[in-house]
Amino acid sequence: MTSSVAALCAFNLDPRNTARIRASARGATTASAASPPVVYGPDDWNDGPASETCLPYMYGKTQSERRAWELAAASDGRWQLVTVLPSLVFGPTVCACASSESVAAVRGLMRNGGYGVPAVGRMGVPVVDVRDVAAVHCLAMVTSGASGRYIAHAHETTMYDCTQAVAARFRNYWPARLLLPFWMMWLLAPLAGLDRDMVWAMWGAPPRFDTRRTCADLSLSRWVPLEDSLEDMIRDMAGKGMVRLR
Q: What is the mean pLDDT of residues 68-91?
A: 91
Q: Determine whether domain 2-239 maps to CATH 3.40.1260.10.
A: no
209 has pLDDT over 90: yes
- Which sequence spans correspond to the domains of the chain? 2-239
Name every residue whose Cβ is closer than 8 Å to that of residue 72 and which is 6 or more positions away in sequence: 8, 21, 79, 80, 81
Alpha carbon distances (Å) from 2 to 19, 21, 33, 136, 205: 20, 15, 21, 21, 30
15 has pLDDT over 60: no
228 has pLDDT over 50: yes
Is 133 in contact with 153 (CB distance < 8 Å)? no
Is 81 in contact with 146 (CB distance < 8 Å)? no
In the chain, % of residues over pLDDT 90 = 53
Q: pTM for the full model?
A: 0.85
Name every residue whose Cβ is closer than 8 Å to that of residue 216 and which is 6 or more positions away in sequence: none
173: which DSSP letter? -
The strand ranges marked E within 25-159 are: 39-40, 79-86, 88-90, 119-121, 124-129, 148-152, 155-158
CA 240 to chain CA centroid, Å, is: 22
Task: Look at 123-137, 184-198, 201-215 and tell me which has the smallest mean pLDDT.
Answer: 184-198
The distance in angstroms from the start CA to the end CA of the chain is: 37
Q: What is the mean pLDDT of residues 44-48?
A: 83
18 has pLDDT over 60: no
Q: What is the pLDDT of residue 24?
A: 63
pLDDT tens for each residue of 81-125: 999 999 999 999 988 777 788 898 898 889 877 788 899 999 999
Task: Look over the chain and give the mean of its residue pLDDT values, rounded to a whole number.
Answer: 85
237 has pLDDT over 90: yes
Is 109 in contact with 165 (CB distance < 8 Å)? no
Q: What is the pLDDT of residue 130?
A: 97
pLDDT tens for each residue of 141-173: 999 899 999 999 999 999 999 999 999 999 999
